[in-house]
Chains A and B, each alone.
Chain A
Amino acid sequence: SRSTAKLTDSITGVFTKRKLDDAALEELEETLIAADLGVKASGRVVEGFRRTRFGREATDAEIKGALADEIAAILGPVAKPLVIDRALKPHVVLVVGVNGTGKTTTIAKLAEQYRADGMKVIMCAGDTFRAAAVEQLQVWGSRTGAEVVAPAKDGADAAGLAFDALSRARDVGADVLLVDTAGRLHNKTALMEELRKIVRVMKRQDAAVPHSVLLVLDATTGQNAVSQLRVFSEMVEVSGLVVTKLDGSAKGGVVVALAEEFGTPIHAVGVGETAADLRPFEARHFARALVGLE
């Protein structure tokens, strides 16, 4: 991609057969900033680098490899797959996030994966607000073969629908219930309260649900992701992240800052628009892509 090329150029230009001096470290820091790590996280990573490698001679590949290792060490502890507990029948996964990040598509991808693993999956079309959101999930239902619980009419109560979907999933012995929700900005109090209501109403049936709350983050998002994760976590106890649109030129570097500040597990990444385009989050791979190595 374009940004990878630029990044490689800048590192090559600065580091080939060159000492890691202040100027070189500054370039390195800028590389990380341009990948959305943010000023603070970029500064910390480069400081670590300064302590261990300052003044040494190194080649382009060595530098990039070492930088990726430094970042992978931060991301390693949060790289955890989402494990479905088949004894729960159903394991309830609530999917939340700001508008347009890829919640509905991610639900389709998860459904596809779980069905391939032989699980019975039900999806709840809990976005009763946006135009054709229900129909969008219904198309994914027919493509993935997962049953969709949909509202009878437009503008139905999302919490009531989630409650019904949970009853249904329990009745038929589903392994997983994936609950879609309308996109909402975290600074909108009324909408965040509605999200809490979905959780509250489902809990009337089983206090242990939802077992997982996934926040879907768009890789093109910059520093606002920090505020998204903070508020969604406060409101609905986010248990893990999915980072979408990593097939584009955006690197999603803000998750390094998120890992340092919150330590929230990152389960998976979205790399396309089809149901097959979900991959496990892999710290080393992600870090190497971040510095332009793959």
Chain B
Amino acid sequence: MFEALGNRLQGVFDRLRGRGALSEDDVNDALREVRIALLEADVALPVVKDITAKVRERAVGQEVIRSIQPGQQVVKIVHDALVEALGGNDEGPRGLDLNAPAPVPILMVGLQGSGKTTTSGKIALRLRGKERKKVLLASLDVHRPAAQLQLEQLAKRAEVASLPIVAGQTPLQIAERAMDQARRELFDVVVLDTAGRLAIDEALMAEVAAVKAAVKPHETLLVVDAMTGQDAVNTARAFNEKVGVSGIVMTRVDGDARGGAALSMRAVTGAPIKLLGAGEKLDALEEFHPDRIAGRILGMGDIVSLVERA
């Protein structure tokens, strides 16, 4: 169903082989295909408009490199624009920022079912292993049936501590108890998992904002599903405005969704995409590489390296 942008553009430029520079008409035809490709990849419409405007600017008047197809040349321009919009390739360290006095609180937020609890377990496993941190997992989810038990079981699998479950406490009380215990027992990091909530749920958004104000997390991670559609912009905007987001984790990149939501989320919040969830198991946590996600959004193989070599 989805056609790689390269193939789409091939048709547009077939008639153009052998000419000198890309004219405005050539570029307009190409941009129509770019727009469709981005929308099919679930990039939000306003973000698509920004990107096509940028591409137009850069593509008009470009000399056609003789050894490659003009289609590939435009793909390269689009690809570069996406990489840039995703934070660029040389932005420095992209992982979690733990540079704060211990215990460092990390707050996990997002819509229902996006993967917050699983990602909490993954982060705990990574910090305990690679970074030799003493991690405490605490579930503030008093909402979903067996949510606290779910995190407790994940903590066991990750071989990290979890905050004892006490029935009847509010999320704020649980957060404070977690920080108390972490200070007393000299934990390095406390991951605070929260219940899923809709961005338009004023009461629940206020609840998590109150937790944030009390705990002052060093990282507030918005966990989003790679399959998210156009609503990504609304979700990202609401969480960023009402809670404040320091980084994004995109889950389910092990699926076949193009993942255009990454662009939408980044554009709206300005927050970096810090990690990717690539499976249900606790070790399925990956670094984010803008060029890989850009290529995935465009559904293309090695066109970029092809152009680079030309």
A contacts, CB < 8 Å to B: 1-3, 30, 33-36, 38-39, 98-102, 129-133, 135-136, 138-140, 143, 183, 185-188, 218, 220-227, 245, 247-251, 254, 273
Residues of A within 8 A of B235 (CB): 220, 249
Pick from A102, A140, A250: contact of B231, CB below 8 A. Answer: A250
Q: Is the CB of B229 within 8 A of A131?
A: no
Contacts of B113 in A (CB 8 A): 99-102, 218, 245
- The stretch among B34-42, B77-85, B185-193, B213-221 that forms the contact with chain A is B34-42
Beyond A218-B113, A222-B42, 5 additional pairs, beta carbon < 8 A: A34-B230, A35-B230, A186-B256, A188-B254, A224-B227
B150 at the interface (CB under 8 A from A): yes
Q: Which of B206-247 contact A (CB under 8 A)?
A: 225, 227-231, 234-235, 237-238
Q: State whether A132 touches B149 (Cβ < 8 A).
A: yes
B145 / chain A contacts, CB cutoff of 8 Å: 135-136, 139-140, 143
Residues of chain A contacted by B115 (CB below 8 angstroms):
99-100
In the assembled complex, 15 residue pairs joining A and B whose CB atoms fall closer than 8 Å, in A order, are: A34-B45, A36-B230, A38-B40, A39-B39, A99-B113, A131-B150, A132-B146, A132-B149, A187-B254, A188-B254, A220-B231, A222-B260, A224-B257, A245-B111, A245-B112
Chain B residues near A33 (CB-CB < 8 A): 39, 45, 230
Q: Give min CB distance, A155 to chain B, whole Å.
A: 12
Could you tell me the distance between the alpha carbons of A249 and B197 in the complex, rounded to whole angstroms? 12
Residues of chain B within 8 A (CB-CB) of A188 are: 254
Minimum Cβ distance to chain A for residue B281 (Å): 10
- Name the prevailing secondary structure of the A interface residues: loop
Main secondary structure of the interface of B (DSSP, over half): loop
> Nearest A residue to B48 by beta-carbon distance?
A33
In Å, the complex CA distance between A3 and B232 comes to: 11
Is A39's CB under 8 angstroms from B229's CB?
Answer: no
Q: How far is the CB of B204 from chain A (nearest CB, A)?
A: 10
Complex: how many Å from CA A143 to CA B237? 35
B228 close to A222 (CB less than 8 A):
yes
Which B residues, 234 to 288, have Cβ-Cβ distances below 8 Å to chain A?
A: 234-235, 237-238, 252, 254-258, 260-261, 280
B31: Cβ under 8 A from any A Cβ = no
Contact B36 A136 (CB under 8 A): no
- State in angstroms the CA–CA spacing of A2 and B40 once bound together: 23
**If A140-B145, A222-B42 touch, does A248 touch B257 (CB 8 Å cutoff)?**
no
Chain B nearest CB: distance from A247 CB in Å? 6
Q: Is the CB of B39 within 8 A of A2?
A: no
- CA gap between A284 and B226 in the complex, in Å: 30
Contacts A100-B115, A136-B144, A273-B143 given; indicate if A224 touches B230 (C-beta within 8 A).
no
Q: Which residues of A contact B147 (CB under 8 A)?
A: 132, 136
